[in-house]
Amino acid sequence: MSVAVETKRVTVPEIRARKNAKPVVCLTCYHAHTARLLDAHVDLMLVGDSLGNVMHGLETTIPVTLDMMIVAGKAVMRGSKHALVVVDMPFGTYEESPQIAFRNAVQVMKETGCQAVKMEGGSRIAETVHYLSERGIPVMSHIGLTPQMFNVFGGFKTQGRTEAEWPAIEADARAVAEAGAFAVVLEGMAEPLAAKITRQIAVPTVGIGASAECDGQILVMEDMLGLNPNPPKFVRQYANLGPMIEDAVKAYAHDVRERRFPGKENVYSMKKTG
Ligand code: KIV
């Protein structure tokens, strides 16, 4: 029996086929209203664990839980019909073994309806990438600056600034691409290294603070909209919504204090009786 599907989402093979082709447009998204606004304009929405910083005011993504990701994943799926939705696997839910990663990723996919998951790490999780990909869970990899390794790196440090670091990072990219990742996020990486990796691997690279030569780009939506008072240096701001929100709230507060709100248009009329 076939069930009619109203709209067709972008698929994992379609993203995979964008290697050396039309750049893949990606943004993070954590909630339904913004998902609806982004949907027609992006190929891929990432429910990133950066929601820990953006939505919850956390310093790092380390405290983010599977439940936090699932709540946001469901909201983004409800708000969108077109873009491919990828949900991040948070710290501690996939590193221990391929089997544990599989179980947690299955929960994410069943409960949210998303089409893929993302996991940080290169060679050290290549086996897990393979295990999941072989069992119906498409994986987007994430290498370079991996925020879940904050405590190991001692901060958020750009990767590959000396050529001596390059071979290990290139090996990471090759390992996850060969293990079956359908795309690889390159974050916070020296530009020539990101460009080199993009030429070397057979799947699309998606850059964030990396290189314009990547096969696609991703930004944290709140950073590019001007909602983050301290955005990373590489972010181009496409709007400045922070002051607009403040002005709107100021105007509302003024109206309330002056008893100008609600105006007549907002008052429910009385029901006629008798
Ligand atoms: O969590 C996130 O938003 C991410 C992107 C920065 C790639 O992983």
The catalytic residue among 59, 95, 170, 187 is 187
Query: Does residue 49's CB lie within 6 angstroms of at least one atom of ligand 1?
Result: yes
Is residue 218 helix, strand or coil?
A: strand
- CA 220 to centroid of ligand 1, rounded, Å: 7
Residue 1, pLDDT score:
59
Query: Does residue 159's CB lie within 6 angstroms of at least one atom of ligand 1?
Result: no
Q: Tokens 């590019």 — which residue?
A: 224
Residue 265, pLDDT score:
67
- CA 147 to centroid of ligand 1, rounded, Å: 8
Among 88, 89, 156, 214, name the best residue to mutate to test ligand 1's pocket (greatest count of ligand atoms within 8 A of Cβ): 88
CB 203 within 8 A of CB 158: no
Task: Tell me which residue of 185, 217, 254, 259 sits closest to 23, measured CA to CA.
Answer: 217
CB 100 within 8 A of CB 66: no
pTM metric for this prediction: 0.94
Closest Cα to atom 3 of ligand 1: 48
Find residue 119's DSSP bridge partners.
141
Query: Does residue 28's CB lie within 6 angstroms of at least one atom of ligand 1?
Result: yes
When pLDDT is cut at 50, 70 and 90, the band that residue 266 belongs to is: low
Query: Does residue 88's CB lie within 6 angstroms of at least one atom of ligand 1?
Result: yes
Question: Active site includes 258?
Answer: no
What atom of ligand 1 comes closest to residue 88's alpha carbon?
1
What are the tens digits of pLDDT across the range 163-181?
Answer: 999 999 999 999 999 999 9
Is residue 118 helix, strand or coil?
A: strand
Q: Residue 86 belongs to what H/E stretch?
A: strand 84-88
Query: Does residue 48's CB lie within 6 angstroms of at least one atom of ligand 1?
Result: yes
Average pLDDT for the chain: 95
Report how far apart the first and last C-alpha atoms of the chain are (Å, whole number). 55
Is residue 157 helix, strand or coil?
A: coil
CB 235 within 8 A of CB 42: no
What are the tens digits of pLDDT across the range 122-162?
Answer: 999 999 999 999 999 999 999 999 999 999 999 999 999 99
Domains, the chain, in order of start with CATH, read 12-224 (3.20.20.60)
What atom of ligand 1 comes closest to residue 48's alpha carbon?
1
DSSP assignment letter at 94:
S
Closest Cα to atom 4 of ligand 1: 48
Residue 5 has pLDDT above 60, yes or no: no
What atom of ligand 1 comes closest to residue 118's alpha carbon?
8
What are the tens digits of pLDDT across the range 32-67?
Answer: 999 999 999 999 999 999 999 999 999 999 999 999
Query: Does residue 170's CB lie within 6 angstroms of at least one atom of ligand 1?
Result: no
